[in-house]
Structure 1
Amino acid sequence: MSWLPEASAHAMRIDILLAGLVIISLAVLGLVFGLMALNVLRFRAGRTSPIARASAEHKGWGFEIAWTSATLVIFFGLFLWATQLYVVGFRPPDDAIQIYVTGKQWMWKIQYPGGQREINALHVPVGRPVRLLLTSEDVIHDFSIPVLRIKHDVLPGRYQSLWFTATRTGSFRLYCTQFCGLGHSRMTGTLTVLNATDYAGWLNSAPASGSLATVGEALFIRSGCSGCHASSRYAPDAGDTSRAPSMVGLYGSRVALADGRAIVADAAFLHDSILDPPRRQGASFATEMPSFRGVLAEEDLAALVAYLQTLSPTLPQEAGN
């Protein structure tokens, strides 16, 4: 049992890792300062005997090598464990509920797949993996829920992703832990973890003007995207795919960029391609897409990304629609 409140599946592992680092650091600190104190007392002026001087001249290195090697191995093991926890923390399960979080001076704006929206409040079901897509509209923020042991910088114009699985119901505090201006101290909110029945009831009772994907589909047409990018929602000849790639099956596939790199078209790729097209220019398309930076708000971008994800035939159904 953790000595701090915890409510996520990986919180205990984080606590054990930190406890291990603290214990090993204190042990090394105690050993080093203990040996220093022992030698100060043993070889202080006026107390050094010829026998002690002789033993110092024939000093053996076995003890030093042994404890230095042992602590190095332990710290390296903790490093590998921390690396594993870090990697797992950014690889959500395929069935994770995807929720969009936008930081703005000085509030957190939350959007759910079903179109529900909140300010400074986040509702999630217990026992279900939840993926957060984080971005900022202005300055650097930092999204933190201490009871879940999650914390991540939120950068303007970029998607950051993390996930968690809540293990107990209740209400918990969330914070911005990066100084972001005069109202930084007010940029807090509440995480509410509900059982499956209560969460379904909350989704049904929360106001929503259509799902995010539905809103994104309307934006896709209204913003002129359908003129170049084909979509399965339209006739087969809709969209000039000689000028731009088809959106059908793009999400989750590998894309060859003009600079020779090949990357996976995840949510961050789709988001960046809309805001900064030259950095995501495809190798086989010479036409340069205009940037929508300053044209579409982050809420609109979230809707567009949600819609483009539905065009992938392998995309798992998102809970909360």
Structure 2
Amino acid sequence: MENLAGWASEASAHAASVDRLMLAFTLMMVALSVPVFVLMAVFAVKYRRGRTANRAHPVNRNVWLEVSWAIVPFLLTVVFFVWATKLFADLYDPPADAIAIDVVAKQWMWKFQHPGGQREINELHVPAGEPVKLTMASEDVIHSLYIPALRLKQDVVPGRYTSMWFTADRPGTYKLTCAEFCGVDHSVMGGSFIVMTPAAYERWLGQSQVDDTLAAAGAVLFRERGCSGCHGPGATVHAPPLTGLYGRPVPLEGGGVVTADDQYIRDSILLPQSQIAAGYPHIMPTFQNVLSEEEVLQLVAYIKSLRSGSPEGMRQ
């Protein structure tokens, strides 16, 4: 497990499926292409200039043969299209119980935070056999988290959240890197992706230095930045309530409805005038260039944690 696995290693069933797809597609291309090039070589030799050959062959009117040249490749292509589409669609359907890990990319490092508050830089520890969902943000330029052993790559874009999920089932240490040129030290923006048995992962969590969870840190920030003065239960300002907000539909001023997901909450903090909830005044100040991406993630996590009657939801 301590040896860093190569780029071609497989750490998940998805990676093995991608490899099978690529191998099968390559074999299909070879099967369709080789006869063409072989016949080109045969005809070039047989009918070359000066060679005695019968060039008066009658036209072959075998319609089925001609149709098969088009139908067979078309059907094979459709099979591969459906196969590839299924693999692609699976990447956008994470299980509801996936472990949520937040990622912040910056020149030139990857910062990860686990649900229990464990933080790490340029290393990502995950348990084998359990789904993991990464929610990613960039503090500066476009980055791209690439884990070759998973055959997964996802751009991390300033101003929005992107996500990626996987289930790694082969313990080991693999490479992770940035696959988008992001500045002069782009080549050193990498690290290790460490898949551990569930028991080893639990031990690692227990031995790691623990900060506040994102939600707990967000609760502190919520009070320090004065958010509770408008959104707290005792506030006199007419502002949208946040308890139970996450995941609910939000009617917007001027019509339209948006779901209160991570991106909506982030935009409401940094771009409050872009999507104004119906029935509320335009008084929300912007925190753009005031909060870092990590602080925004903390506030988003705190708002997500607010449930009616929950301990987190009572901390205003």
Q: What's the TM-score once normalised by structure 1's chain length?
A: 0.85
Which residue of the partner structure matches residue 147 of structure 1?
Answer: 149
Say if 2:12 is the partner of 1:17.
Answer: no
Which residue of the partner structure matches residue 175 of structure 1?
Answer: 177
Alignment of 1:146-165 (within 5 A): 146-165=148-167
Alpha carbons of structure 1 residues 25 and 44: separation in structure 2 relative to 1, 3 Å: same
Cα offset, 1:196, TM superposition: 2.1
Percent pairwise identity: 44
Q: Following the alignment from structure 1 to structure 2, what is the Cα–Cα distance between the partners of residues 222 and 271?
A: 18
Which residue of the partner structure matches residue 282 of structure 2?
Answer: 287
8 Å CA contact 1:281–1:288 kept in 2: the answer is no
Which range moves more in the overlay, 125-134 or 6-15? Answer: 6-15
Which residue of the partner structure matches residue 3 of structure 2?
Answer: none
SS in 1 for 2:13: coil
Aligned residues: 303
CA deviation digits over 1:43-92, x for unaligned, max 9? 4445453532x32xx55453343132221222222222222222211221
Alpha carbons of structure 1 residues 50 and 17: separation in structure 2 relative to 1, 3 Å: closer
Q: Which amino acid aligns with 2:68?
A: A
State which of 249, 265, 282 in structure 2 corresponds to 1:270. Answer: 265
Alpha carbons of structure 1 residues 31 and 61: separation in structure 2 relative to 1, 3 Å: farther
CA deviation digits over 1:138-190, x for unaligned, max 9? 11111011111211111112111011111022211111111111111111111
Alignment of 1:1-321 (within 5 A): 4-46=8-50, 47=52, 49=54, 51-52=56-57, 54-55=58-59, 58-230=60-232, 235=233, 237-238=234-235, 240=237, 242=238, 244-258=239-253, 260-287=255-282, 289-312=284-307
Which residue of the partner structure matches residue 314 of structure 2?
Answer: none
Cα offset, 1:210, TM superposition: 1.7
8 Å CA contact 1:106–1:186 kept in 2: the answer is yes
Q: Following the alignment from structure 1 to structure 2, what is the Cα–Cα distance between the partners of residues 120 and 29?
A: 44
Q: Following the alignment from structure 1 to structure 2, what is the Cα–Cα distance between the partners of residues 189 and 14?
A: 23
Cα offset, 1:296, TM superposition: 0.8
| Cα RMSD after superposing both structures | 2.6
Cα offset, 1:266, TM superposition: 2.2
Q: What's the TM-score once normalised by structure 2's chain length?
A: 0.86
Q: Which amino acid aligns with 1:156?
A: P
Flag structure 1 segments of 5+ consecutive residues without an equivalent. 316-321
8 Å CA contact 1:143–1:175 kept in 2: the answer is yes
Q: Following the alignment from structure 2 to structure 1, what is the Cα–Cα distance between the partners of residues 222 and 210?
A: 19
